[in-house]
Structure 1
Amino acid sequence: MTILILFGSFILLMLLGLPIGIALGSASILTILSLPFLSLEFFTLGLISGLNSFTLLAVILFTLAGNLMSQGGISDRLLKVAYAFFGNTKGGLGTVTIIACLFFAAISGTGSATVAAIGLAMIPAMVKNGYDKPYAGAMVATAGGLGVMIPPSVVMIVYAVTAGVSVTSMFIAGIVPGLVVAAILIIYNLFQSKQFDSKKQHFDTSWGAKLTAINDAKLSLLMPILVLGGIYSGVVTPTESAAVAAVFGFVLSVFVYKELSIKRVPKIILESALLVSSVLIIVGASVAFGRIMALENVPTIIANFVINLTENKILILLSINLLLLIVGTFLETLAAIVILTPILLPVVVQLNVDPVHFGIVMIVNLAIGFVTPPLGANLFMAAQVGNIKYEHLSRAVIPWIIAMLFALMLITFIPTISLLFLS
């Protein structure tokens, strides 16, 4: 009965259109009120303990750093580097776009910021050079998912907090899978590029141009090295590295490149705070929600139920992937992480799946949800920045989703891809 109240009220509140964090908290409160042995202090303590996390500071700081970078001229310089190296290759503009998303993902930590920063520059450029507009928008929307796969990633931090694993391990594990996804997207674009580039623009790709672009962007390129190198070397924690990224992004954008007015910084801070606040509400409310599930032994019951249905590891992982793909079409990524991790992690642990590897599998699944209609967040962002009709974009993204599914299968069933640098 308790579980019926918990999940029933949560689903009902979601259908009524309440924000996910509010729906989680309200469902938890309703369930607590129905239990005589619990009081609202249980919810309050869960909310406080969920937010009282040093690691979660990294979410706030990386979000701020990403906003500063996207508006401070850093993305433009990264694009020039990509143009200098890949601009005149077959399918060059598509390759430039995906590589630029890869670069920006390594400093932004979010998918939507990557789509906005790269899409504003690259969608018009691709269309000008003969690319179909929905195809270009679908490419940017899909490649924007690299923002949560390549470290530093806000989603990785939230998974690490929820699953009780190391943030540093998650960051290390995300490098190769992110590169694999990027490579598959580039290969797909190369096969499609023969029908585009009909008005191919010539870029200066001489070694002089390459060196000039690298020199101009050297401080931008230094940022991921500084942030990730500090983490992997043990000099700073992931949270401290987020602070380094925010300060470095501020100094670079305001005082070095001088493309961001210091008067705009308070507005950026406010925008970042509003963006992060919804994330923190979800995380805090999910703790009480998860504790009620733990009291009712829900994760163990579900794990035993799945294992009793079949002990075939491949079938179980395929089923979990299917569940995550479906959930990703209608549930916000961070909410899916904090709700489903306590339920699914015990299942895969019984199958001897490494929790870090499973975290990468979850994140890739939910990144596909970014571009899966009807509620793909990256699709909406790409449609907005590229001035593309959503229904046209939804059709154009289907082949890209298939390419992502191929990458997902590789990452799911070849754990070495995620655990290569952790073994």
Structure 2
Amino acid sequence: MEVISIIVLFASFFTLLMLKVPVAYSIGISTTISLLLNIDKLPGLTTVAQRMTTGIDSFALLAIPFFVLAGEIMKRGGIANRLINFAKSLVASLPGGLAYVNVLASMLFGAISGSAIAATSAIGSIMTDRMEEEGYPREFSASVNITSSTTGLLIPPSNILIVYALASGGTASVAALFIAGYLPGILLGVAIMSYIAFVAITRKFAKGSRVPLALIWTYFRKAFFSLLLLVIVVGGIVAGIFTATEASAIAVLYAAVLALVYGDITTKDFPDILLTSAKTTAVVMFLICTSMAMSWLFSFEGIPELISGFLLEQFSNKIVIFLVINLVLLIIGTFMDMTPAVLIFTPIFLPVVVALGMHPVHFGIVLVLNLCIGLCTPPVGTILFVGSGIANVSVSQVVKPLLPFLLIMVIVLLLITYIPEISMYLPRLFDL
């Protein structure tokens, strides 16, 4: 009966996805159908409702709505322009300088806001037109914006790393994950810029004039308080001054005060900001609810043990197993949103990699980067569609220039997978 239940679970889930039923509903419906094969209707429905409720009964998850709100304030508060001007002052004089500016600004804004979509829309809406004026094709600009915005999901504070900490059952702390994301996120950004350098030289992209040191200092001063948020949030967590949840509340207060002082928003803007943030939070939390119910069903049916046993029996080499897991996660990322993917597949693959000696924090970074690549690929590809829409080009036009960037991301993924120190050096340095 258990085998039939598992088959029904996956068959109904993928069928609903193909019918374009929203992911959260697909997860909830397939979980309920599968569970009702084993137990009666009333206890089955009660169990699903109970698991959905207890799934979000976590203090750590309070950080998500606060970081969402902080990101929305920053998105509307003119912070993107300050970061772009500062980044431009540093690298605009290089060949292909504006493309570097796009990457650096996306890294900084994505890290500060904790949202790849926010980085894609905020930076892309400004940079695409600027780059076109200097001869960059819009589809190339969109490709740069789409891939570089994912770095903010690795560089803290990152909502998805908080979700992974929950899914890991406490084996990976938020503080350790935050500090572990720095080097992989920076490595990904540098790798993207390396390819841009190659393209800039071969296509002879324009370069700007050298910016005087005094002007760089001016732009830095204007962006300083925006950048300081990263130090306050992550530094406070790592130093043990406050928890990730408390840090998220501090981020909201800091962002609100900063935006008001700069005069980019007024108190009249806050009702709309709160409403938008509440809608985003509701979507995320509902995904978490249904995903936690499915995750519990996986455990109830013994699916993690079955997959772990199968992989360890079929493949004796851990290098091959890591490669297989990466391939599976890359495929999953193409059709499933990040949050449910983390909550559903962490309990499945985490026991396997831990048995092979991979640290849970290391696997968290690998998992998130896999799913970041999925955000840039069809058919789901949230960032792909947002970035294409912002640049006002079709997805089909973006795909060709996007492919080399995706290859770069895969290469970085393999480096992070097989060189643990990229992720684990900083957590070990800070004894996390």
Written as runs of structure 1 = structure 2, the 5 A alignment for 1:237-276 is 237-253=243-259, 255-276=260-281
Percent identical among aligned pairs is 36
Corresponding residue of 2:31 = 28
Amino acid at match of 1:111: A
Select 1:342's aligned residue among 347, 368, 378: 347
Amino acid at match of 1:221: L
Greater mean deviation of Cα atoms: 213-222 or 353-362: 213-222
1:33 Cα deviation from its structure 2 partner: 2.3
1:117 Cα deviation from its structure 2 partner: 0.9
Quick one: distance in 2 between partners of 1:105 and 1:288? 30
Kindly indicate whether the alpha-carbon contact (under 8 Å) linking 1:130 and 1:196 is maintained by their aligned counterparts in 2. Answer: no
Quick one: distance in 2 between partners of 1:24 and 1:6? 9
Written as runs of structure 1 = structure 2, the 5 A alignment for 1:276-291 is 276-291=281-296
Instruction: State the TM-score, normalized to the length of structure 2.
Output: 0.94
Corresponding residue of 1:171 = 178
Select 1:362's aligned residue among 361, 367, 378: 367
Select 1:227's aligned residue among 226, 233, 255: 233
Corresponding residue of 1:236 = 242
1:375 Cα deviation from its structure 2 partner: 2.7
1:176 Cα deviation from its structure 2 partner: 0.6
Amino acid at match of 1:274: K
1:165-200 per-position Cα deviation (integer Å, ceiling 9, x unaligned): 211111011011001111111111111112556554
Corresponding residue of 2:417 = 412
Kindly indicate whether the alpha-carbon contact (under 8 Å) linking 2:150 and 2:372 is maintained by their aligned counterparts in 1. Answer: yes
RMSD of the alignment, in Å? 1.4
1:2-44 per-position Cα deviation (integer Å, ceiling 9, x unaligned): 2122222222222222211111111222223222375322212
Written as runs of structure 1 = structure 2, the 5 A alignment for 1:69-80 is 69-80=74-85
Select 1:210's aligned residue among 216, 219, 239: 216
Corresponding residue of 1:187 = 194
Written as runs of structure 1 = structure 2, the 5 A alignment for 1:50-199 is 50-164=55-169, 165-195=172-202, 198-199=205-206
Greater mean deviation of Cα atoms: 293-302 or 368-377: 368-377
Amino acid at match of 1:57: L
Please state whether the residue corresponding to 1:158 is helix, strand or coil: helix
Amino acid at match of 2:60: T
Amino acid at match of 1:190: A
Kindly indicate whether the alpha-carbon contact (under 8 Å) linking 2:96 and 2:205 is maintained by their aligned counterparts in 1. Answer: no
Corresponding residue of 1:371 = 376
Quick one: distance in 2 between partners of 1:265 and 1:80? 26
Once superposed, which parts of structure 1, at least 4 consecutive aligned residues long, lie more than 6 Å away? Answer: none
Quick one: distance in 1 between partners of 2:81 and 2:155? 20
Quick one: distance in 2 between partners of 1:327 and 1:68? 32
Kindly indicate whether the alpha-carbon contact (under 8 Å) linking 1:146 and 1:178 is maintained by their aligned counterparts in 2. Answer: yes
Corresponding residue of 1:380 = 385
Quick one: distance in 1 between partners of 2:343 and 2:161? 11
1:147 Cα deviation from its structure 2 partner: 1.9
Kindly indicate whether the alpha-carbon contact (under 8 Å) linking 2:112 and 2:227 is maintained by their aligned counterparts in 1. Answer: no
Q: Does 2:356 align with 1:351?
A: yes
Amino acid at match of 1:25: G
Aligned residue pairs: how many? Answer: 421
1:226 Cα deviation from its structure 2 partner: 1.1
1:343-390 per-position Cα deviation (integer Å, ceiling 9, x unaligned): 111111111111110110011111111111333211111111111121
Written as runs of structure 1 = structure 2, the 5 A alignment for 1:381-396 is 381-396=386-401
1:186-219 per-position Cα deviation (integer Å, ceiling 9, x unaligned): 11111111255655443x6111101111112221
1:254-286 per-position Cα deviation (integer Å, ceiling 9, x unaligned): x21111132221111111111121111111112
Corresponding residue of 1:14 = 17
Quick one: distance in 1 between partners of 2:267 and 2:427? 41
Quick one: distance in 1 between partners of 2:384 and 2:122? 14
1:114-153 per-position Cα deviation (integer Å, ceiling 9, x unaligned): 1111111111111111112111110000001112111111
